[in-house]
Each structure stands twice: as C-alpha cells, then as structure tokens.
Structure 1
Amino acid sequence: MRKLVYYVASTLDGFIAAPDGSYDFFPLEPDVAAYLTAAWPQTFPTFAHAQLGIASPPTGRFDAVLMGRATYDPALKLGVTSPYAHLEQYVFSRSLPPSDDPQVQIVDGDPVAFVRDLKQRPGGDIWLCGGGSLAGQLLDEVDELVVKLNPVLIGSGITLVDRGFAAHRFTLTETRPFDSGVVVLRYTAGPR
C-alpha cells in the first residue's frame, strides 16, 4: 500500500510559514540544496528543475502531491497552474472552482476519505506538501514525517499541524545534520 509522507520545512518553534503564508526565511543553503536535489528531487517545483540540475522528470518515491489552497496560492499568483507537473496534483479547497489545468484536480470533499482511497490505488508514495490545516486533518493517515528543521524562531505563523490536542507518537528513523544548521529528521508513525 502507498504511504502518505508529510515532507515539510519547519522552524525550531514548529511553524511552516509566517502568519501571511510567506516562507522566505527558509533559505535553501548550498549544503542542504545538494542533498535535497539528490535525495528528494520530486519535491521541487517543475519549473525549478533545470536551474537546480534535476533530471526531468525526476525519479523518486512520489507520484502524487497533496496541498491545501494556501500552499497552492503562491504558484497561482505567479501564473503557474501546475507547479508539480511531474506528479499527480491534488489541491484541497472548498472555494476554488474545478481547475482548468488537466494536471491539477481540485478536491472539495473529505480529505481523509480521499487519501484512504488514494492509498489503495496502485502507484508510488504520496507527498503531503502542506499546509498545517490539511496536515492536521490528515495526521491520522500520515505514515512518515520528514521535517527540514531550520535554525530559526519566528514566534507565530502557520503551525506544522493545525488541530485540537491529540498526541501522536513518531519513531525517529534518520537524522541528517548540515553545517548550515538545518537538520533533516525522518520519522515513521507509531501504532494507531
């Protein structure tokens, strides 16, 4: 069965974006960029592949990406309707109309039911790109958590997971520190 992997950048205080949704305080340091483009090439937008030296289409474990509307909006503001054209793209929104781009499916139904169905279909793993609200709704379905922990505190913003209190235990499976201070942490979900 396919796995749902929440792969995301975070501050030390657990935020994935500023209150306005911006995330430019997460610089892509050269040491981290080299690792990410080699280990996680599918997580870069399609339009950035050439400048980062990523083969097109990139190979890897994912063939689908899930994102909330706020995560999708920055691409739309740039006129990019299909930011991850190398993957099946699902955007969860109750306010967006169906996409004119055939590579993007707008999902206005229950994210949990949708993901459970998607996991049963043949294919590679599924990348949960963000944001915090969608991650909160799908937390019980997350099989693996990969956090690019950045050495910065911001005090407020969009949380890693936005939901009511419910403790979820994860098991650390890999730690990759970088000279820039970023640490990539991989966890698997505990028993459910």
Structure 2
Amino acid sequence: MRTFKLQVQVTADGYMAGPNGEMDWMTCPWTDDLNAHIDALTAPVDCIVLGRRLAEGFIPTWAAGPEGEDRASIDKMNNTPKVVISRTLTASPWENTVVSGDLAGTVRELKSRPGGDIIAYGGGTLVRDLIAQGLLDELHLFVNPTAIGAGMPVFPHTDAYQHLRLVTARPFDCGITALHYEPKRP
C-alpha cells in the first residue's frame, strides 16, 4: 500500500497560519541541507493532495515557474498529478488535476492504487480533517523558530488524544527543524 504523508510548515507553537491566514512568520530562507531533505522526501511522490483554497494559489504559482526555484522542482510540482479535495468545486479548472468531495473515500482509493507515495500540503481544513480521520501514515512538520500566539492550528480540537511516534528530528542550518512523526494506531 502507498504511503500518505503530510508536509507542512508550522510555527514553534503549532500554527500553520495566523488568525487571518497570515504566513508572514515564515522568514527563514531555505538552506541547501533543507532543500536536499525536501528533495528526498518528495522523490517517491507521484500524487499531491491539496485543499481547494491552497490549490487556487499553489497550482498557478508552480505553473508560472516561481522565481528562485530550480527547474527540476518546478517540473516535479507541475507534472505530478493532483487531487483537490473540495466541497464546492465539481470539476477541475487545472491541468493534470481531479476534484473530489469525499476525503476518506478518495484517500482510501488513492492508497489502494499501485504507485509511489502520496503527499498532502494542505490547507488548514484539509490538514485537520486528515489528522482527525486518521488518514495519514506520516506527518512531516517543518517547525519555524517563531511563535505567533494564535492562528490556524495544525491539529484539530478533538475529544481524543492524537498519539504520535517521533521517527526523526532534524535541525537545519536556516533554523527550521523537521519533525517526522507516525500516528500510533491501536
């Protein structure tokens, strides 16, 4: 079965965005060691899962070839098939992308297909729903050395604990620390 992993940047106090969606707290320029880590994480990926709101910025940004990104990363992001989870879209306005409103069913179907890893980048509602429904195999949290005090939390507010097993913790030259967790399943 394919591995479904989450990659998300977070603040030191566990938020992926400020109260109004601000992401200005991400001020660490990525260093070569972090880029190499990301390349290794995404190398086996052959499917990207996004929430609608993130997809609306993510897909056009990569299609335009963002300044400062190498050609291989741009090609990987553009050529990798995408699934956008949305309650409002019924068809994809983007090339190489399908839309689904059934999160759990879509994830189960994707994981049952042959292929490489699947990665989710967000947004906030999607990330919290994936965690709450126990759909992820790995969580890769890239912790930025900034605390913002309030905002959009990575983890959903539930009545149950989210038990995780730390696989690795790796600091990078830029100040970001990558935490790789796996959910502890009963």
Shift of 1:28: 4.2
For 2:68, the equivalent position in structure 1 comes to none
Match of 2:45 among 58, 62, 80: 62
Deviations 1:59-100 (A, max 9, x none): 712111111122223246769599831211111111224123
Q: Is residue 131–residue 160 contact of structure 1 (8 Å, CA) maintained in 2? A: no
Distance 2:55 2:107 in 1: 18
Change (3 A) 1:158 1:78: same
> Which of 146, 153, 162 is 2:147 aligned to?
153
Calculate the aligned-residue CA RMSD, in Å.
2.6
Q: Is 1:6 the counterpart of 2:34 in the alignment?
A: no
Per-residue CA deviation, residues 154-187 of structure 1 (Å, 9 max, x unaligned), is 1222211334332121111111112433111111
Q: Is the 8 A contact 2:62 2:78 kept in 1?
A: no
Structure with the bigger RCO (C-alpha within 8 Å, sep 6+) is: 2
Higher deviation after alignment, 86-95 or 74-83: 74-83
Report whether the alignment pairs 1:180 with 2:174.
yes
SS at match of 1:141: coil
Amino acid at match of 2:55: Y
Give the 3 Å change call, closer, same or farther, for CA 36–89 of structure 1 in structure 2. farther
Q: Which of 104, 110, 117 in structure 1 is aligned with 2:109?
A: 117
User: How many residue pairs end up in the alignment?
Assistant: 174
Shift in alpha-carbon separation, 1:178–1:40, aligned structure 2, 3 A:
closer
Question: Unaligned stretches of 5+ in structure 2?
Answer: 66-73
The percent of aligned pairs where both chains have the same amino acid is 31
Q: Deviations over 1:43-63 (max 9, x none)?
A: 8xxxxxxxxxxxxxxx71211
The TM-score, its normalising length taken from structure 1, stands at 0.79
Picking from 70, 86, 107, the partner of 2:79 is 86
2:9 matches 1:26: no
Q: Structure 1 CA distance, aligned partners of 2:160 and 2:125?
A: 14
